[in-house]
Amino acid sequence: MENPTPWEALLLVSHYLDPKSLAIAACVSKSWSLAMSQDHVWQPLCSSYYPSLSNLKIPNPSVPYHRLFALGFTASKRRFKTPSKPRLSLDSLIFAIELSTCGAPAVIITEPAVNIQGNDQVFKFDVDVNRDFFPGIFEGSQQEINIRWNVVLKGWEAAFSMMDCKCKLSSCTTAAVAGWFSEELPSPGCCSGGDMGSGIVADVKVGYCRKRWESKKGLKVEKVSVGMLRCVDWRYVSVDDGLRYLQHFLLLPCSN
């Protein structure tokens, strides 16, 4: 039987090992675990990688440095963990969009999300309309319109209101205009307070142009675009991130 590694040699070698090697070596035996878990071995590593956690040793001297290092490592891995694949898919969603104003027929769009023209990478979809009018909106005037965008789960099992607001739509001297409207979405999860935002906004763009028919002027809606944007950089979220957000409301409805 071979002689066990001298204690002094273990202590000497431990100072030259990286955190992963130290953790592996600590699994060899009880004596190795004791040698590789010494505070004087982990203190410089903990101070270098996670200095704020290392300071927790001051008011709590009984907490070993290797434990503080493990806490920091686990927290980092959890933060940058690759998200799971969404359980929703675009072909399971229906977009119901309504634009209405006083004295005019509503512009109503009901389409499966998968049939709407969009970018495969980002959660943004464009709908060609080219058939509805807002009569009575004259050049240089403003008109209040109601915008509603609901996402419905196929089978009518659930629905989520992405936007429900009143906005001002104005005409101008140019032939074509675009109205851009946004509204912050609620934080996913039933445990979040009402004042806590999600950092994501629902985005609706209405492309329209001035139109004259018979003796009246008005606006013809040509295109409606809907999507989800991040507040931090005003970029569209990915399709998967958008689906992951929606599944909190469509597949896991809050019981409160």
Tokens of 214: 């018979």
Tokens of 101: 């104003």
Q: Do 116 and 95 fall within a single domain?
A: yes
Q: Quick check: is 28 in a domain?
A: yes
Q: Quick check: is 1 in a domain?
A: no
Q: Do 101 and 211 fall within a single domain?
A: yes
SS3 content of the chain, % helix, strand, coil (to 5): 30, 40, 35
Q: 58, 80, 102 — which closes off a domain? A: 80
Q: Do 49 and 112 fall within a single domain?
A: no
Angle at 43 between CA 38 and CA 45, to 5 degrees: 110
Instruction: Look at the pTM and tell me if it is higher than 0.75.
Output: no
pLDDT over 60 (residue 36): yes
pLDDT, tens only, 86-142: 989 999 999 999 988 776 777 888 989 988 877 678 999 998 887 656 655 545 556
Q: Which residues pair with 108 in a beta bridge?
A: 98
Q: Do 237 and 180 fall within a single domain?
A: yes
pLDDT over 90 (residue 149): yes
pLDDT tier at 167, thresholds 50, 70, 90: confident
Q: 61, 80, 99 — which closes off a domain? A: 80
Q: Do 118 and 65 fall within a single domain?
A: no
Give the residue with greater pLDDT, 253 vs 249: 249
Q: Do 47 and 97 fall within a single domain?
A: no
Q: Quick check: is 187 in a domain?
A: yes
pLDDT over 80 (residue 26): yes
The count of domains in the chain is 2
Q: Do 227 and 103 fall within a single domain?
A: yes
Give all strands of the β-sheet with 117-118 in edge-to-edge order: 117-118, 124-135, 216-230, 197-213, 176-186
Q: Do 38 and 151 fall within a single domain?
A: no
Q: Which residues pair with 23 in a beta bridge?
A: none
Q: Residue 28's domain spans which residues?
A: 6-80
What is the pLDDT at residue 1?
A: 40
Q: Quick check: is 85 in a domain?
A: no
pLDDT tier at 170, thresholds 50, 70, 90: low
Q: Quick check: is 163 in a domain?
A: yes
What is the pLDDT at residue 228?
A: 95
Nearest to 183 by CA among 150, 136, 141, 158: 150
The DSSP string of 88-114 is --GGGEEEEEEEEETTS--EEEEEEGG
Q: 80, 109, 128 — which closes off a domain? A: 80
Give the residue with greater pLDDT, 210 vs 23: 23
What is the pLDDT at residue 203?
A: 92
Strand, helix or coil for residue 68: helix
Q: Do 175 and 204 fall within a single domain?
A: yes
What is the pLDDT at residue 252?
A: 59
Q: Quick check: is 138 in a domain?
A: yes
Distance between CA atoms of residues 193 and 63, nearest Å: 34
Q: Do 47 and 135 fall within a single domain?
A: no
The DSSP string of 224-241 is EEEEEEETTT--BPBHHH
Nearest to 235 by CA among 72, 124, 75: 124
Q: Do 124 and 190 fall within a single domain?
A: yes
Q: Do 48 and 111 fall within a single domain?
A: no
Tokens of 137: 């909106």
Distance between CA atoms of residues 82 and 133, nearest Å: 46
> Rounded to a whole number, what is the largest CA-CA distance in the chain?
106
**Do 172 and 211 touch, CB atoms closer than 8 A?**
no
Q: Quick check: is 218 in a domain?
A: yes
Q: Quick check: is 145 in a domain?
A: yes
> Which amino acid, 253?
P
